[in-house]
Amino acid sequence: MHGPSFTTLPPELRYMIYLFATPPRYVYLRGHYDSCEPFFGESITLPAVAPGSRFARLNNYSTLDSEVYFTSGTKIPPLLHTCQESRNFLIKQGYELTFRTPGHQQRTWFNYKKDILIVPVLP
């Protein structure tokens, strides 16, 4: 004998489960600078923006349009990829792809209402 399936639970209960199964996260953001990629076939990973660096002094993004982008090694909340209902619900709760730069699309799922952003700073 089988118990009720998840899809037969009332939507309100499923939504509560989605919320409890998606705790706040520490999202570690990394900056990448890949201007050497066409020449060397690899990108240079920058752990942070150092005070006085090229990035800190940059006032016009046009010089780095396709050279700088951000990623995170933080795991994506699994319910964003479980089913359409859980994904749509979590997006309504505030999850979004973010941290776009002029030359690159957003690459990191982040919830501004509950996640904590960590951006390392170089000494």
Residue 47 has pLDDT above 60, yes or no: no
Q: Classify residue 29: in a domain, yes or no.
A: yes
What percentage of the chain carries pLDDT values higher than 90?
Answer: 49
Q: Classify residue 113: in a domain, yes or no.
A: yes
Q: What pLDDT score does 103 carry?
A: 76
User: Tell me, what amino acid is at 110?
Assistant: F
- Calculate mean pLDDT across residues 17-28: 96
Q: Classify residue 1: in a domain, yes or no.
A: no
Q: Classify residue 31: in a domain, yes or no.
A: yes
Look at the pTM and tell me if it is higher than 0.85: no
Q: How many angstroms separate the CA atoms of 66 and 33, rounded?
A: 9
- Calculate mean pLDDT across residues 91-98: 96
- Calculate mean pLDDT across residues 32-46: 53
Residue 46 has pLDDT above 70, yes or no: no
What percentage of the chain carries pLDDT values higher than 70?
Answer: 70
Q: What pLDDT score does 20 carry?
A: 97
Domain total for the chain? 1
Q: Classify residue 25: in a domain, yes or no.
A: yes
Q: Classify residue 65: in a domain, yes or no.
A: yes
Where b means 16+ CB within 10 Å and e means fewer, 78-109 reads ebbeeeeebbebbeeeebeebbebeebeebbb
Range of the domain at 103: 6-118
Mean pLDDT taken over the chain:
79
Q: Which tops the pLDDT comparison, 99 or 76?
A: 76
